[in-house]
Amino acid sequence: MKLSSLALTILLMTQTTTANSQEVNVYSYRQPELIQPLTDAFTKRTGIAVNVAFLKKGLIERLKAEGSRTPADLVFTVDISRLNAVVEAGLTQSVQNDFLLKNIPSTYRDPDGHWFGLTTRARIIYASKTRVSEGEVTTYEDLASSKWKDRICTRSGTHAYTLALTAAYLHHHGEVETLNWLEGLKANLAQKPQGNDRAQVKAIWAGVCDISLGNTYYMGKMLGNPDQRAWAESVTVEFPEFQNGGTHVNVSGLALTKYAPNRDNAIALMEFLASPEAQEIYASDNFEYPIAPGTEADPLVKSWGDFTPDNVNLAAIAKLRSDALRLMEVVDFDG
Ligand code: FE
């Protein structure tokens, strides 16, 4: 009897120690190598351990299943649609924090504080160095013009990146024009949508098409890969704009979970990641753009050119995602 109560006391003490230990738990769709340098720096500075669970899929299902007993404090992911899905599932909580508001421009965070962007990537055009002349790439609208007939490659119309761009088109132009644009774009494709963003650049290199839609950071990734370097070197990065806006961008970002057991530590990590220094490191790790006022992208990324990001709040893009998907199905974009 006595022994078992002692055992219970020890057990309780152990649990108390665990609950009081300084840690923060992250569920991440982002690769370990992108995050590790920053979490290490955070731990060194604060003494707070960062435990990261890298997930390939099922993050929302896991958070739902764990409910109020989840160990997760923060969710890291890319693309506004994925951030928004976590919010829409009711798995996040609002953060009102002056430091975050100061360092994350309003375009790149939820007006209600449920998600925050940390870096951006632009959805741009990769253009053949030999078959596309300077100034030929202009606007997103122009991609539907007949001058691009059989010259464009893209990944699936139902992929998050394509849907976000289409949602931005909807925001700028409404449904009828977006439908026309998608039909025109489809008519200009050199082949059915297939493969990822890098596969489109490979197709340009192979002579299948002259331009492709892709995210900026893939240029850096291809240049760093001996098998893909030639693809990257066969193209230039061109920044199209919307006629009445800028270049479409998306974010990598994070959200505080609804039941975050280490809320204060999580907010400390959010502040750390939102700081200009951390943004620049995080952005450089994946050839992205930091967003805090005064920050700069790394020299390679800057060498691709300057651009004006579209100024629509990404929450508006997220809201239009299902409409974008419906239009993709109407035009049978991948068919
Ligand atoms: Fe990507």
Q: What is the pLDDT of residues 315-332, one digit of tens each?
A: 999 999 999 999 999 999
Position 14 scores a pLDDT of: 40
pLDDT score for 1? 38
Spacing, Cα 288 to ligand 1 middle (Å): 11
CB 270 within 8 A of CB 156: no
Kindly report, residue by residue over 210-238, the tens digit of the pLDDT: 999 999 999 999 999 999 999 999 999 99
Identify whether 51 is part of a domain.
yes
**Tokens 């204060």 sit on residue:** 264
Q: Are residues 207 and 320 in the same domain?
A: yes
**What burial class does residue 125 get, using C-beta atoms within 10 Å of its C-beta: 0-12 exposed, 13-18 middle, 19+ buried?**
buried
Instruction: Kindly give the distance from the C-alpha atom of residue 145 to the centroid of ligand 1, in angstroms, as a whole number.
Output: 27
Distance from the alpha carbon of residue 319 to the mean position of ligand 1, in angstroms: 21
Q: What's the CA-to-centroid distance between 17 and ligand 1, angstroms? A: 40
Task: Tell whether 157 and 204 lie within a shared domain.
Answer: yes
Can you give the pLDDT at residue 21? 75
Nearest 5 degrees, angle CA 62-CA 65-CA 66? 85
Q: Is residue 191 in a domain? A: yes
> Residues 229, 131: one domain?
yes
Residue 19: per-residue pLDDT:
47
Please, which pLDDT band fits residue 16 given cuts at 50, 70 and 90?
very low
In a domain, 303, yes or no: no
Distance 85 CA to ligand 1 centre (A): 17
**Residue 196 CA, ligand 1 centroid: distance in Å:** 8
pLDDT computed for residue 12 by the predictor: 40
Does a structural domain hold residue 72?
yes
* Contact call for residues 253 and 313 (beta carbons, < 8 A): no
* CA 125–ligand 1 middle distance (angstroms): 15
Question: If we measure between CA atoms, which residue out of 85, 129, 82, 95 comes closest to residue 258?
Answer: 95
What is the predicted pLDDT for the residue at 11? 41
Domain membership of residue 218 (yes or no) is yes
Task: Tell me what percent of the residues of the chain surpass a pLDDT of 90.
Answer: 92
Which ranges constitute the DSSP H helices of the chain? 2-20, 32-46, 59-66, 80-88, 98-103, 160-187, 197-205, 217-223, 229-233, 263-274, 276-285, 299-302, 314-319, 321-330
- pLDDT for 204 equals 98
Q: Which pLDDT value is given to residue 328?
A: 98
Pairing of strands 116-128, 211-215: antiparallel
Interstrand relation of 211-215 and 152-153 (parallel, antiparallel or unpaired)? parallel
The helix (run of H) or strand (run of E) holding residue 238 is: strand 235-238
Centre of ligand 1 from the C-alpha of residue 72, in Å:
24
Residue 167 has pLDDT above 90, yes or no: yes
What CA–CA distance (Å, rounded) separates 304 from 290?
15
**Pairing between β-strand 289-290 and β-strand 116-128 as defined by DSSP bridges:** antiparallel
CA of 215 to the centre of ligand 1 (A): 7
Question: Which amino acid is residue 171, in one-letter code?
Answer: H
Write out pLDDT tens, residues 73-101.
999 999 999 999 999 999 999 999 999 99
* 165 and 23 co-located in one domain: no
Domain count for the chain, please give it.
Answer: 2
Q: How confident is the model at residue 137 (pLDDT cuts 50, 70, 90)?
A: very high
Task: Say how many Å lie between the CA of residue 237 and the centre of ligand 1.
Answer: 16
Residues 207 and 324 both lie in one domain: yes
Structure tokens at 144: 């539907």
Same domain, 63 and 91: yes
What is the Å distance from ligand 1's center to 275 Cα?
Answer: 23
CATH at 172: 3.40.190.10
Task: Please tell me the distance between residue 45's alpha carbon and the centre of ligand 1 in angstroms.
Answer: 30
Shared domain check, 210 and 157:
yes
pLDDT bin (cut points 50, 70, 90) of residue 181 is very high
- Within-domain flag for 197: yes
The tens digit of pLDDT for each residue in 255-287 reads 999 999 999 999 999 999 999 999 999 999 999
pLDDT of residue 18: 47
Residue 302: inside a domain: no
The pLDDT mean for the chain works out to 94
Please check whether residues 129 and 112 belong to one and the same domain: no
Q: Is residue 304 part of a domain?
A: no
| Ligand 1: centre distance to CA 218 (Å) | 7
Are residue 187 and residue 325 in the same domain, yes or no? Answer: yes
Same domain, 202 and 287: no
Q: What is the pLDDT of residues 193-206, one digit of tens each?
A: 999 999 999 999 99
How many angstroms does the Cα of residue 9 sit away from the middle of ligand 1?
50
Do 177 and 316 lie in one domain? The reply is yes
Domain span including residue 163: 122-248+309-331
For residue 33, what pLDDT is reported?
A: 87
13/154 same-domain check: no
